[in-house]
Structure 1
Amino acid sequence: MTSTEHTILRMGVPSGRRIEPAALSFLEGCGLRVRKESERQLSAGIAGLPGVIVFLQRARDIVTQVTDGDLDIGLTGVDFVSEFGIEGDDLVVLDPNLGFSSGDLVVAVPDGWIDVTSMVDLADVAVTLRERGQLLRVATSYPRLAQRFLYEKGITHFTIIAMDGGVEAAPGAGFADVIVELTVSGVSLKENRLKVLRHAVVMKTQACLIGNRRSLTTHPAKRELARRILELIEARGRAQGFYSVTANLRATTETEVAEKLLGSPATRGRTGPTIARVFSASEGPDGGHWFAATIIVPSRDLQAAVDHLRAAGGSGISVLQLRYLFDEQSHRVLELNRELGV
């Protein structure tokens, strides 16, 4: 590896009609805009973050490439990490909950199986097939997860038909009895006349951020770039649902304003209000002054905060949704450093 390769962070981003736009939109929302010059371009940079090269790959392949060290970090799905990750390898999860590309991995059977509505019923079907000298045929893109889940449900007589796409069509085509597959909206299952059984959710999944333990431990420059990405993602996620509320209030001192706001839980803010003197061209006849008070409130308390500010004499109340919200330290980065032992 050259000295340049020691400092360049190779980042995998999922490609594909459904997940790629969602992944690029998510990154842009975090201030990490991927610069693609053409739709067919499979590598790109990140605006404002030199030293990072983005490679567009299949989400499932990103898990393997990060594990093998061909990529340093990458966006993928929790389902793919569970399916293709190997315990004790160099893969480390940097952020398990990115909040997009969510779905359920489920067991589904043909609509025509009227008497089969639960996993208990499916176990009975497997027993009946075994008595006839047959095995329940299970088509899936997740053979490892499917096998483990079926065993947990007491179904031990089956054969896995591993597929890479088109799983929903397998029962209709006649080469599988049931499927274990990811569903987002359920439309594809309905179009292929399949139904999800009761108690048949193998796992819930969403996008996550993973990294290569050895690469991030060995190369400080890569770890620093990963830290910056991780901090932006964390701060953007924390900011969702929080608002900055500012109001002008008349009082004689900052302490008087603070007492008014601290008197209600809705206007106490995360750590308390920020209060500053407003130098107005005209002061009040009572010698009072104008003060600007700013608080950070969660969306559930927004209306209550506005109401209390009005009751306290607030005017010119403005509300802005936060883009980022940084804590004193990044919890994700602290967790990563502990995991890496650095």
Structure 2
Amino acid sequence: MTNILKLGIPKGSLEGATIDLFDQAGWKISTRSRNYFPSINDDEITCSLVRSQEMGPYVAGGTLDCGLTGIDWVMESEADVEVIRPLVYSKSSDQGARWVLVVTQDSPIKTVEDLQGKVIATELTGFTSRYLRARNIEADVQFSWGATEAKVVEGLADAAVEITETGSTIRAHGLRIVCDLLHTHTVFIANKEALKNPAKKAKIDQIALMLKAALDARGKVLLKLDVPKKHLDGVLDILPSIHAPTVAHLSDPEWVAVETVLDRGAVRDLVPQLKGAGAEGILELEIRKVC
């Protein structure tokens, strides 16, 4: 049994963000035009570019040992995989994207129950069909290769189940969102047999740890400042940290250096408070990982 880990990288909308995340985590993935097998700076890993929709079945079947895809596509395929860790790293909000039920503005459909006997266009046919069956709703769920909203606008379908982040595209087509059916996010998944291989499991655990560390760092910054000892207590009272700020002595016995990791969004309001409390030489630094 080979110990080389076969890693799936999602091709398409998540591809660039995934490669950027791996770069921040310490792995350089290099793609080449018309090549589905990117190189990676780790002799224990090989990479394949795979459509998100196909990632679950490839991992479940053992073609890949692990990969990243949306939880929606794992649910759609009902792939028997192990979800190692959720990873939110797209440009959308922390809530991720959502699959919504969409109709025309003048449609009589107001609730999911109104779909009885209707035609629904979607790429997420398996999940949608099971969702409706669980509610005893009989409808004609048809697979859509794309331009799903247009099928509703043109009257080819009574409704659509489509993915969105903000809903702006749906509204631009003059459509109305009835309700959310599924909130989705990216997940790191693994083949259950691969997890029984100690070497592969160790590498999968390493990837999961480092990806999380990179993501956790994205909303954080390192703040460094010099503080007169006489003002230290006042500064520490207003300075947030993960556990407790680091305080180190300087060559001047009347001053100390303080470091802390905090939320990026807090810096704007915090710096004036720190200056008012006596801090000087305040530096805001980017960080790559938080473990």
TM-score normalised by structure 1 residue count: 0.74
Is 1:43 the counterpart of 2:25? The answer is: no
Match of 1:148 in 2: 130
- Inter-CA distance 181–301: structure 2 relative to 1 (3 Å threshold): closer
For residues 294-309 of structure 1, what are the structure 2 equivalents within 5 Å? 294-303=259-268, 305-309=270-274
Match of 1:63 in 2: 56
Task: Write the letter of the residue equivalent to 2:131.
Answer: F
| Offset at residue 70 of structure 1 (A) | 0.9
Query: 24, 30, 39: which one pairs with 2:25?
Result: 30
Match of 2:6 in 1: 10
Task: Write the letter of the residue equivalent to 2:27.
Answer: L
Is 1:245 the counterpart of 2:235? The answer is: no
For residues 71-110 of structure 1, what are the structure 2 equivalents within 5 Å? 71-86=64-79, 89=80, 91-100=81-90, 102-110=96-104
Is 1:20 the counterpart of 2:25? The answer is: no
Is 1:274 the counterpart of 2:268? The answer is: no
Is 1:216 the counterpart of 2:211? The answer is: no
Is 1:168 the counterpart of 2:168? The answer is: no
Taking the aligned partners of 1:298 and 1:191, their CA distance within structure 2 comes to 35
8 Å CA contact 2:102–2:175 kept in 1: the answer is yes
| Offset at residue 321 of structure 1 (A) | 3.0
8 Å CA contact 2:98–2:182 kept in 1: the answer is yes
8 Å CA contact 1:261–1:273 kept in 2: the answer is no
Runs (5+) with no aligned partner, structure 2? none
- Structure 1 SS opposite 2:242: coil
Aligned length: 287
Task: Write the letter of the residue equivalent to 1:34.
Answer: I
Task: Write the letter of the residue equivalent to 2:284.
Answer: V
8 Å CA contact 2:101–2:177 kept in 1: the answer is yes
Runs (5+) with no aligned partner, structure 1? 127-134, 327-342
Taking the aligned partners of 1:315 and 1:185, their CA distance within structure 2 comes to 42
- Inter-CA distance 177–34: structure 2 relative to 1 (3 Å threshold): same
| Offset at residue 302 of structure 1 (A) | 2.8
| Offset at residue 196 of structure 1 (A) | 1.7
| Offset at residue 23 of structure 1 (A) | 2.6
Deviations 1:225-268 (A, max 9, x none): 222211111111222322211111233xxxx6764444x1x325
| Offset at residue 202 of structure 1 (A) | 0.5
Deviations 1:123-163 (A, max 9, x none): 5xx3xxxxxxxx322222222221233345x5623122234
| Offset at residue 59 of structure 1 (A) | 0.4
8 Å CA contact 2:122–2:148 kept in 1: the answer is yes
- Inter-CA distance 300–183: structure 2 relative to 1 (3 Å threshold): closer
The percent of aligned pairs where both chains have the same amino acid is: 24
8 Å CA contact 1:14–1:58 kept in 2: the answer is yes
Taking the aligned partners of 1:319 and 1:64, their CA distance within structure 2 comes to 44
Is 1:178 the counterpart of 2:171? The answer is: no
Taking the aligned partners of 2:57 and 2:171, their CA distance within structure 1 comes to 32
Task: Write the letter of the residue equivalent to 2:86.
Answer: P
Question: Greater CA radius of gyration, 1 or 2?
Answer: 1
Taking the aligned partners of 1:164 and 1:302, their CA distance within structure 2 comes to 46
- RMSD, aligned α-carbons: 2.6
Structure 1 stretches of 4+ moved >4 Å:
172-175, 190-193
Task: Write the letter of the residue equivalent to 1:148.
Answer: R
Taking the aligned partners of 1:24 and 1:209, their CA distance within structure 2 comes to 14
